[in-house]
Structure 1
Amino acid sequence: MSWQLVNWFGSKQGLEQAREDIHEFLQKEFYLGVSGIEQPEQSSNRIPSKELFLNLNSLGSKNLEEMDIELLQFIHDELPPVVRDEVGIFPFFTNVLNTGFLVMTFVRNATHQDIMLNKLPLALVTSDGKVVARKSFEMLTMGGLQDMSASPCEFLFTWDDFLFMPEDDTQLFMVYDKERLDQYKMEEKLVEKHNGLTDEEEESYIQKVKDLFPIQDGQVELTAIDLVQVPDGGLKVIVAFMNGLDKRVEFTEVPVYIRDEIGRDVARMHFGLHSLYIKPKTQRVWGFYIPASSLEGKDLDLSKCKAYVPDARQDKDVKAQKLELHENNKGFIQ
């Protein structure tokens, strides 16, 4: 595994030396602003680090030895207090690898609720604030942040993420990318504007779904049926929901992917939903907007692209299924 914290401390160092090393490598913690207060890093309302529990689920399948866990706990307990009711990201070590620049952090949730992060825009900057690298990290794969917990997490900036290569002795700091965050907020407004369908669009699409995708008893199916360009930029994927069960189904999350003609993913989006219900034995259609900035590549030929839904998260015990589109339906997207 890439942590290898034993190599950092050395096998014979005393605790005092280890503490000195920890505080030497610590960078500045930055906050995501979930509390709603301005400049949360200046708040004096803080919680000792030891009041948070160490959650190792964020490391996934990494093989952690007992020594690794002890060191992570030791480092965590040495961190300064965290701002109450905030989510903070505390870089505590960096390492230059063949594949890029690795930043080791603790993501600290000092709120009393679980929090799910989607995209996290981060940047590497020099001591004078010059941006060296940018990357938006997909956080859904690490699962939610449990309340009052600290999760060790790795952020790897590959060399392709660098805007330019700094001098070898340049010290880099990881920060919250506010510029990219502002861009995301603008995109959210576009998503709010373009998500869904007009009454006329819904009527047209639902008739196509009834004609081409009859409901299968006992099955819940999702299929991407169209991919259209939006005047403001970006694409809209039209997804059909078919509920063949005898009870209502609610969807809480729908992933939508787009592939080009060579099978390369040009967009991977996860849409959180509220109150998208499908009545028993009925069909429904919905439009999912994908901003242009979320598309990889330029001058995409939509006629050669395919949209698909790999799986979707439903409420309660309704099992999500992988769904296939009829291959011979020309003009439709799978």
Structure 2
Amino acid sequence: MLGFFKRDKNKIAKDGEDHTVDSKELLGEEVESTGREVKTKLHFPPGINVGQEERYYYQFLNNELPLLKENQISLSGIEVEKDEDDSVVVKAFIRNSLPKAIMFNEPVPLLLLGPDEQVLARKTFNLSVFGELPAESSLPWLFTFEKQFVKVEEIPQTDWKLAFELKKEKGPHALDLEESWEKSLADTDKEKLAELVKKMTPPKPGEVNFMGIQARLDKDGSLHTTLLIRNGSDKNVKLEQIPLIIEDASGECVAEGGFILDNFEVKANTSKPWTFIFPQSLLKKEKIDLSKWKAYPPKGA
């Protein structure tokens, strides 16, 4: 840690940009605000011996930082470099404009962002290691993204910033329609599907499952099944192939087949309807009772 506070004597300015959030977004605490602006004071961790020249340097940089509004937490990039082992080391101020000391008791996910908000690196840090961050203070700190957390080959020396990765508030589970369905379905049918998705219990977080909504036998003897593909994940899911088994009211498997999908994606926290057609050659019995039915992938699929 002592090496961190050493500086390049040829540099007198910081290279990174700032990322500032309300303390409620990060700590979940409601704090009354007067709207005043805060000049944060330089702070070093207890027990760290910092040379006079380095202290002057960080004090100069701190004096150049913009004022914060009350009850904000900010990351202000100083410099970034890539080590011989391809890890990326970021020097930055972590700043607290609250009128009280704060403690990061939970791990904090951080992003290293480049031009156009490109994610250069992502890692979760234990910020409790430096103890309390005093009221209205700026702490210079070292953030190391090991190679496995770095997503690009080249790290820009300008137009970058260290940022908090905030959890987006999850909205209600919603309907996701493929463009072809959006164009072909009547508005009343879209409304019925949206209402159906709204009423159903959403899938568990991270779960992807199937729910049958319509099944019929066509004149040519094929079985048409329309399913809702339900994505409970907070990320979009791409599906290239879906193996399916269909059971009728008897509980017997009446059809089984695999379907190749072209660029098929179900958006995060949505359900997408899709129709799967089993030709007559894939049906396993002549008389099929569709008064009750279900669809599911084979075990291990």
TM-score by length of 1: 0.42
Larger radius of gyration: 2
- Name the one with the larger helix percent: 1
Greater relative CO (CA pairs within 8 A, separation 6+): 2
Question: Taking structure 2 as the reference length, what is the TM-score of the superposition?
Answer: 0.47
